[in-house]
Chains A and B, each alone.
Chain A
Amino acid sequence: SQQGEEDPQALSIQEGENATMNCSYKTSINNLQWYRQNSGRGLVHLILIRSNEREKHSGRLRVTLDTSKKSSSLLITASRAADTASYFCATAVTGRRALTFGSGTRLQVQP
């Protein structure tokens, strides 16, 4: 079953704009991770936020986590054409050995 669901499914913006993607999940988590996938390639880890953290930054990435709402958001600031990719959230759930991935958001950044 899907633990994480991303919203929107697809997003198209202009270069320089900010992109925000959301992830909702169903059960309590240990941490939540965001991954990026270029078309036809494997996934690459971007950032991890633990359940006791509310916000985390890495370069142009900002991740927030609201455990009361069971949701997270990924903000990419000053987007570039090279940010065009699919972005997935993945949850680490107590008692489960593997991450559970959502269905992803396809981001298109127009130059």
Chain B
Amino acid sequence: DVKVTQSSRYLVKRTGEKVFLECVQDMDHENMFWYRQDPGLGLRLIYFSYDVKMKEKGDIPEGYSVSREKKERFSLILESASTNQTSMYLCASSLTGGVGNTIYFGEGSWLTVV
């Protein structure tokens, strides 16, 4: 089975802190994604990566950056956390070959910014 692992399930950070959310997948997938999930808004795409060192902005990239130095690892970075970034963050991965592929999600990281 595909496994997407998010290193932290629950985090509490202070406003202005730099926050790293780490994600690792074990199926040699080319594509990796970071989504944010908020009540009533569903999942919104922050960034995705289709290859090592390659990234594209999603629908809500402001306030976030990403890093993909190795194929299996995709990090989401909040340069200066703010309270409006309190949310659940979901990492996902999929094979290459286009957007029609199934994507596999991690268990999510709950971030609270105080």
Contact with B along A55-90 (1 / 0, CB 8 A): 000000000000000000000000000000000100
**Total A-B Cβ pairs within 8 A:** 61
Chain B positions 93-114 with a Cβ under 8 Å from a chain A Cβ = 98-100, 102-108, 110
B43, B45, B48, B103: which contacts A45 (Cβ < 8 A)?
B103
Known: A40-B108, A97-B50. A45 touches B102 (CB 8 A): yes
Contact call A42/B108, Cβ cutoff below 8 A? yes
Nearest-Cβ distance from residue A57 to partner chain B, whole angstroms: 17
Residue among B44, B45, B58, B102 with the highest chain A CB neighbour number at 10 A: B102
Contact call A41/B104, Cβ cutoff below 8 A? no
Task: Give the CA-CA distance A73 to B12 in the complex, in Å.
Answer: 38
Residues of B within 8 A of A (CB): 4, 31, 33, 35, 40-45, 48, 50, 56, 58-59, 90, 92, 98-100, 102-108, 110
